[in-house]
Amino acid sequence: MIDRVDLGEHYGADERTSVSFLEFGSIDFSRRSKTTWGFLIDDRAYDFCMVARYVKDLMSFEWAQAFQNNGLPTAIGTWNHARELLPSLAG
């Protein structure tokens, strides 16, 4: 469901000509079907993506602090723990 917003306030016009969105789901190539689990638009989609980025930044900061304060072995332990929590950090 798309939220109703004051388009003039957010976009400078009352008519929407495009929309930013983020869709979660799966595609079954063998059945040629798509399932949507979640759908976000505009600010919510942006915020969702940015939270992931900021978490990675914070984890990098934690790693740098561990390295500065306790040396490489502690920093490696901190990074490995972060990768266990967030496997996407590995890539």
Domain count across the chain: 1
pTM of the model as a whole: 0.46
Please give the structure tokens belonging to residue 4. Answer: 């109703």
Q: What is the pLDDT of residue 9?
A: 63
The answer to whether residue 73 is domain-embedded is yes
Residues 7, 13: contact at Cβ < 8 Å?
Answer: yes
* Percentage of the chain modeled with pLDDT above 70: 76
Residue 75 host element (H or E): helix 72-85
Please give the structure tokens belonging to residue 30. Answer: 């063998």
Please tell me the chain's helix, strand, coil percentages from 3-state DSSP, rounded to the nearest 5: 55, 20, 25
The answer to whether residue 1 is domain-embedded is no
Mean per-residue pLDDT for 46-53? 83
The answer to whether residue 2 is domain-embedded is no
| Residue numbers of the domain that contains 60 | 7-90
The answer to whether residue 32 is domain-embedded is yes
Residue 12 has pLDDT above 70, yes or no: no
**Phi, psi for residue 6 in degrees, rounded to 5:** -80, 95
Angle between helices 72-85 and 42-70 (to 10 degrees): 150
